[in-house]
Amino acid sequence: MWKNKMAVVDIETTGNAPKKGDRIMQIAIVMIEDNKIVDEYSSYVDPQQPIPPFIVELTGITNKHVQGAPLFAEIAHEITKRLDGAVFVAHNVQFDLPFIQAELELAGFSGSWHGPLLDTVELARVLLPTTDSFKLSDLTSQFKLSHDRPHQADSDALATAHLLLQFIKKLHSLPLVSLEKLGLLSVYLKSNIAELFESIIEDNKKNIKDLPYNMEVFRGIALKRKPDAKMENNSKVTIGEPEQVLESHVAFYEKRESQLLMIEQVKEAMNKRLKIAIEAGTGVGKTMGYLLPAAEHALNGKKTVISTQTVQLQEQILLKEAKMIQNITGDHLKFALLKGRNHYLHLLKFEQALAEEESQYDVVLTKMQILTWLTETDNGDVDELNLTSGGRLFWNRVRHAGWFLGEDKDPWKEKDFYLNALKKADDADIIITNHSMLVQDTQRSRPLIPVYSHLIIDEAHHFEDACRRQWGKQLDYIHLKYTIGQLGNDRQDLLAGRLSSIIRNSADHNSRQLTEEMVAELSAEADAAFYQLSALLKSSITMKKGQQKYTLSIEDDIRENTGWKQVQYAFERLLDNMKKIDRILQSNLEIVKKNKEALSDSKKAVIEEIHSFLLEWNEWIQSIRLFFIANDSSSIIWLEGDIRSLPGSLSISSRKVHVQNEINDHFFAGDKAIIFTSATLTIDGTFDYFLKGLGGDKLNVKCSIYPSPFNYSKAVRLMVPKDLPDIKSVPHDEYVELVTDHLIAMGEATKGRMLVLFTSHEMLRHTYELMKDSGLMEDFVLMAQGITSGSRTKLTRNFQRFDKAILFGTSSFWEGIDIPGEDLSCLVMVRLPFSPPDEPLTKALWNDAKAKGENPFKEVSLPKAVIRFRQGFGRLIRHENDRGLIIVFDRRLITTSYGSHFLSSIPSLPVEERELDSIVKEIEHWL
């Protein structure tokens, strides 16, 4: 059936809801027989309604294209003839099929489609588990398939057909053991992929091939074989003169004096074991500015650790700049990426999970993704995978947490990804990690990061907050309830029941029971405790119109509240229950450990999973003690929740107010060189604020600034609207309406290509909805963080895909996104990025500054806002030839005395005050 006839269908429609009257305006069907394309059919369709401007922008199909086209009823017979007896294939079947069913019904063709369905999105998730996008255009690009007119049915159907043939080819190339396991799981998928697997398994059994040389089967699971260790190359290599090296290896290299100076300064710091801070503006070439000296020292046996803010930046350095260094040194240097152990797959746990029958969709899909991934991955690192949110929960079961029974009892020890990562780090000359891992490692009795001579902290403006976050704690209702759900009781086939079963079958029956009543009581106490917290939050906040998310700092006045006493009692009861269960499980684990030699591998996997569970359980216990029993004056504690969904959205967090002593103890002790670097470390040209966060005057840190080489005076115009009032002088709703009017006018002038940065998600949502509802933006694609689905990376990529797009962002969008060239021509900052004064950490730091007799605004709020402003400013010009406008709606930039601190911290530019009409004309003229 699968080889004989497949109908690959794509449609373009006037909207996304056939039940609301949206209609098909183009249809295409590509027929595949015996894995060959044998026929193509396409037609425009008269939808009998105007095509919305957004759909015209998306597809390029206008009302003229469908004028005179047949009605669907006129081609319905042609459609059904092709679909008859075929497998219905589409890229997102659940979109295409309901539309075709509805149209056939309108045309008088009764009855629903009952044939087999194949969804290429679902198949892509299984076969391409590491791809970051399952959009058709991204997948065709990945396979280098022709796809000349995305969002037109004939082009999309043909591209989907070619993609399906690639998937079938990949399925044939997978090891038979993987196919058989995937086939068993695929019966729980939403489309009839199981029948495709069955067909391919039959084919492969008739023609069994040897495994590829780079693959092996171990304990019934196929995985990529570890590459053979390279022979040590002991020949002497030197880096050479930096300028000549860069000229030879960097494409389109242009000499940057500041980069060469930075290289020399980093080299000196490493030679003399100095502590330095370098601000290197966009375009200086900061990464190579520290990597070249690090490589030179590594060739002389000095290990360097590089820490970045994000995992993405970690990987970017490894895939780009580190590759260049390896080319320069002829692969003499070894680089290693090192992350926390919970990033890595625990193979014994996964083997056990695979043996369990499970029909829940996300679990099945994730198991299938991991099976495919194991034939491809060298690292076993979850960041390679594109998992659903349900898949993330499954990952928590099979991720690494060390060993309870000892690694020697793990039959997968030789294949273990985590041990392999540690070995790579131990052997590496340069280790790339992230701030979280670096700071977390200071808490371990046996650090995972090997001893090193030099430490480079990139994106160093985040380092103080990274320390606060890692040395803090968090507790949330949903996670706790999920953890309790994993536990179960002795009668259930969950963790406690599996442990009990192992003990019952062992020689020693002296175990303690975890009864149904105990777990029910635990769950009830968790509910009661978080309901008390919810009541405290509701009673302690002042509700504001339009606001749903609230925070509440747990300060002395709250602690004296009778509501807090009730919360404490509730959490003390919960804590007692948790400790009781911890004692029972720990005791039962020790019983099992005495007989560990007799354990089967599947039972070992259960024990290791329970061990991981108890590590997390003890984290919960420690957090509850800190929040509700101990009185830690060095930390701030706060509640956070969405008033519409309590207690489900509720979390409680803690952060240390001051981390300078810990930073000194953990990072400044000893004689290693430390290089702090970022594009934004200074305010008003001084490092005072940054250094204060690390420990202030006690530190002997040499500081240097290397400004961006870009000519901002020619590339950027900076404007402030004259006709916007001061934000505090008018009601909030009125201000948002004025902001919306300005954004609509500017968006039309820039033809999209505009990034709008907010400091409040409420204001972002309100503005987005007003622009949507205005009816004036129908030609534009509006995308908003937290409203439009997708990660920051996905939203940024989609913004670049459309010609007339406007992207609304807050928080993380102020930095770290890279949109070079004409894709971004206008950057709007709606407000200066001050943290809300009632934000818990800001509030605590204000109180601390007041206690010291300092000006809290000047010492706390202003520096943070200036750094964030500088990061936002840096989103516009990413390369030398970029140009554009920055429009700051917040008139405080020019009307207040502190506005000068913002302006003096960016490249020197005239600030143009203009009426809206003048700004619009200038945009049209300049762009």
Q: 287 labelled as ligand-binding?
A: yes
Asked whether residue 281 is marked as a ligand-binding residue, the answer is: yes
CA distance 341 to 400: 6
DSSP state for residue 906 in the 8-state scheme: S
First to last CA, the chain: 57
Task: Considering only CA atoms, give the Rg of the chain.
Answer: 30
By DSSP bridging, strand 24-33 and strand 36-44 are antiparallel
**Which of 665, 735, 718, 715 lies closest to 694, judged by CA?**
665
Q: What are the backbone angles phi and psi of residue 704, rounded to the nearest 5°? A: -145, 150
Task: Determine whether the annotation assigns residue 544 to a binding site.
Answer: no
Residue 911 phi, psi dihedral angles, 5° rounding = -95, 120
What are residue 459's phi and psi, to 5 degrees?
50, 50
Q: In whole angstroms, how far apart are CA 226 and each of 185, 232, 441?
A: 27, 17, 27
Residue 280 annotated as lining a ligand binding site: yes
Give the position of tokens 């930095």. 815
The answer on whether 286 is annotated among ligand-binding residues is: yes
* Cis-peptide, bond into residue 731, ω within 30° of zero: no
The answer to whether the beta carbons of residues 668 and 660 sit under 8 Å apart is no
DSSP state for residue 479 in the 8-state scheme: H
Give the CB-side neighbour count of residue 840, counting CA atoms within 13 A.
Answer: 19
CA 670 to chain centre: 35
Q: Could you give the CA distance from residue 904 to residue 870 in angstroms, rounded to a whole number?
A: 10
Side-chain-side CA neighbours of 19 within 13 Å: the count stands at 2
> Which stretches of 165-322 are assigned E, i.e. beta strand?
215-218, 221-224, 275-280, 304-308
285 is in an annotated binding site: yes
Q: What is the DSSP string of 186-224?
A: HTTSSSSHHHHHHHHHHHHHHT--PPPTTEEEETTEEEE
Residue 254 DSSP symbol = -
The identity of residue 915, as a single letter, is E
Calculate ∠ Cα 389-393-398, nearest 5°: 135
DSSP symbols for 789-844: SS-HHHHHHHHHH-SSEEEEE-GGGGSS----GGG--EEEESS--PPPTTSHHHHH
Q: What single letter denotes the amino acid at residue 182?
A: L
* Residue 113 vs residues 39, 84, 96, 537: alpha-carbon distances, Å: 21, 9, 12, 52
Is 284 annotated to bind ligand? Answer: yes
Residue 474: both structure tokens together:
């968090």
Taking the C-alpha atoms of residue 850 and residue 631, their distance in angstroms, rounded to an integer, is 22
With beta carbons less than 8 A apart as the criterion, state whether 461 and 678 touch. yes
The amino acid sitting at 927 is: L
Strand locations in 470-614, DSSP E? 473-476, 549-553
Is the bond preceding residue 450 a cis peptide, omega within 30 degrees? Answer: no
The side-by-side arrangement of strands in the sheet containing 635-642 is 473-476, 651-656, 635-642, 549-553
User: What is the CA 40 to chain-centroid distance, rounded?
Assistant: 39
Is residue 486 within 8 Å of residue 495, measured between CB atoms?
yes
Could you tell me which residues are beta bridge partners of residue 11?
Answer: 27
Rounded-to-integer distance, Cα 13 and Cα 72, Å: 12
CA angle, residues 360, 364, 367, in degrees to nearest 5: 145
Quote the CA–CA distance of 671 and 275 in Å, as a whole number. Answer: 9
Helix (H, G, I), strand (E, B), or coil: what is residue 464?
A: helix
**Tokens 């949330």 correspond to what residue?**
476
Binding residues for ATP: 280-287
Binding residues: 280-287
